[in-house]
Amino acid sequence: MNDKKAVATAVTPILKKLNSTSSDIQASAVMSRDGHTLASVLGDTVNSVRLGAMCATLLSLGEKASLELNRGHLKQILIHGEDGYVLLLRIGEKAVLAVVSQPSANLGMMLVEARRTASEIVALSVV
Residues that bind its own copies (CB under 8 A): 45-46, 50-51, 54, 57-58, 61-62, 64-86, 100, 108
- Measured from the CB atom, the residue of 6 and 79 that comes closer to its own copies is 79
Helix (H) or strand (E) holding 5, with range, is helix 4-20
Residue 89 or 127 with smaller CB distance to its own copies: 89
Residue 23 CB neighbours (<10 A): 11
Q: What's the CA gap between 101 and 80, in Å, rounded?
A: 10
User: How far is Cα 69 from Cα 18, in angstroms, rounded to an integer?
Assistant: 32
Query: Closest distance between its own copies and the C-beta of residue 109, in Å?
Result: 12
Q: How far is the CB of 2 from its own copies (least distance, A)?
A: 27
Q: Residues near 50 by Cβ (< 8 Å), separated by ≥ 6? A: none
Nearer to its own copies, 22 or 66 (CB): 66
Closest separation in Å from C-beta 73 to its own copies: 5
Phi-psi region of 2 (alpha: psi -120 to 50; beta: other; left: phi over 0): alpha
Residue 7 or 52 having the CB closest to its own copies: 52
